[in-house]
Amino acid sequence: MATWKIDSPQDPRLEAFLDLRHRNPTWISGRFITEGKLVTDRLLSSGWTVESLLVAPRHAECYRARIPPDCELLIAEERLMADVVGYQFHRGVLACGLRPAMPTLLPLTRPLAPREVLVGTWGVQDPENLGNMMRCAAAFGAQRFILGPHTADPLSRRALRVSMGTAFRLDLLRSVDLESDVGRFATEAGGRCAATVLDETAISLDDYRPQSPVLLLFGNEAHGLPSELIAAADDRITLPMALGTDSLNVGVAAGIFLYALTRAHR
C-alpha cells in the first residue's frame, strides 16, 4: 500500500477525482467513484478492485489497515478535496473503483433457483430511482439485476449513494436487446417474465402466484415499458391503487412488487 500526503489539487494522483460536479466516470473510463464512508466501506468489503482512496486526515488511520496492498491512500485536507471534486464536500471519504466485466443476462452464468426473483429495467433513466431499485432488490434477495437499454449507470455516484452501496452485493447483468432476452427467457432459463403495467385488465399483484422463477420488468418513469416488450412477456401484472392515484415512483413500485413476490415465494 502506498500512502501519499496531497498538498496540491494539480497532483496527478488526483486525476480520477477531478471536477466530479461536471464529470461522471462512465463505462468507457472503466472507473467509478464512491462518496462517503458507508458506501466506500461496502465497496472495500465487496471484493471489487479499488484503485485509490482520497480521505481527509481524520479518516486516514481508519483506512490504513483496511485497504488492499495495491490501492493508493491519498490524504488531503477537506478544503483541497472540495477544490478537486468541484463542490462542497464534507464526508471526507472518496474512492475510485475499477468496473468489473458485466455479463449478459443470457446465457445464464448459473441456473435459476426454483423460486428466484430477478429484476429487469428498461429506460429507468434517473440514477436515484435506479439506486432505490437496487437497494430494494438487495433487501428482498433479488440478487440478479438486469440493466436493459436506456437505463442509467448503476455505478454513478448518485445511484451508488441512494443504493447505500447495496449495488456491490448484486449480480449486475446487462441486456442490449431486452425484447429478445424476454422471448428466450422461458426456453433457455426456465423462468417467466412479468411486465409491470398500469392496466386494470392485468393480473393484480394480490393474485399473482407464479410457480417458477420470475423476471420482473420495470419501465421508464414517465412512459413505462414499450408495448413490444409487454407483448413479449409471459404475464402482465399491476398494482391496485386507491383514491384516484394513477402511478407510483418506479423505486417505490419496485419495492412493493419485490416484497410481495419474494414473500409469496418464501
* Residuewise pLDDT in 10s, the chain (266 residues): 688 798 988 999 999 999 888 887 777 789 999 999 999 999 999 999 999 999 999 999 989 888 888 999 999 998 999 998 888 877 899 999 999 999 999 999 999 998 899 999 999 999 999 999 999 999 999 999 999 999 999 999 999 999 999 999 999 999 999 999 999 999 999 999 999 999 889 999 999 988 899 999 999 988 999 999 999 999 999 998 888 787 789 999 999 999 999 886 55
| CA 180, 194, 239, 166 torsion-angle sign | negative
Q: Return the amino acid letter for 83.
A: D
- With beta carbons less than 8 A apart as the criterion, state whether 135 and 162 touch: yes
Query: What is the DSSP track for 170-234?
Result: SEEEE-S-HHHHHHHHHHHHS-EEEEE---TTSEEGGG---SS-EEEEE-BTTTBS-HHHHHHSS
Please, is 122 exposed, middle or buried when counting C-beta atoms within 10 Å of its C-beta (0-12, 13-18, 19+)?
Answer: buried
- Residues 2-98, CATH architecture: 2-Layer Sandwich (3.30)
Enumerate the domain spans of the chain: 2-98, 117-265
CATH entry 3.30.230.10 includes domain 117-265:
no
Taking the CA atoms of residue 147, residue 149, residue 155 and residue 159 in that order, the dihedral angle to the nearest 10 degrees is: -90
CB 203 within 8 A of CB 216: no
pLDDT of residue 52: 96
pTM for the predicted model, two decimal places: 0.92
